[in-house]
């Protein structure tokens, strides 16, 4: 059997916690920040849990 390999693009953007949740950094924080509230920018810096529908897909491409 060949080795199972992780999708390298997904491995750089998402991480799986010990309890099995998939975490990610939200989008929309890189540019056009002048018109965003300070609280919104602070919240975009934090990792958030991915929705359950996306978690199922990502567990298949991130087997390890």
Q: What is the DSSP string of 11-61?
A: HHHEEE-TTS-EEE--SS-SS--TTS-HHHHHHHTS-EEPPHHHHHHHHHH
Q: Is 1 inside any structural domain?
A: no
Task: Supply the pTM of this predicted model.
Answer: 0.74
Question: Would you say residue 40 lies in a domain?
Answer: yes
pLDDT at 36 over 90: yes
Total of domains in the chain: 1
Domain hosting 38: range is 8-61
CATH number at residue 27: 4.10.410.60
Q: Give the whole-number percent of the chain exceeding pLDDT 90.
A: 73
Question: Does a structural domain hold residue 35?
Answer: yes
Question: What pLDDT is recorded for position 41?
Answer: 94
What is the pLDDT at residue 23? 95
């Amino acid at each position: 059997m060949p080795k199972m390999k992780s999708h390298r693009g997904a491995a750089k953007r998402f991480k799986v916690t010990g309890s099995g949740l998939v975490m990610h950094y939200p989008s929309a924080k890189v540019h056009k920040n002048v018109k965003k509230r300070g609280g919104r920018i602070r919240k975009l810096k934090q990792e958030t849990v991915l929705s359950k529908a996306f978690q199922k897909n990502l567990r298949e491409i991130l087997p390890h």
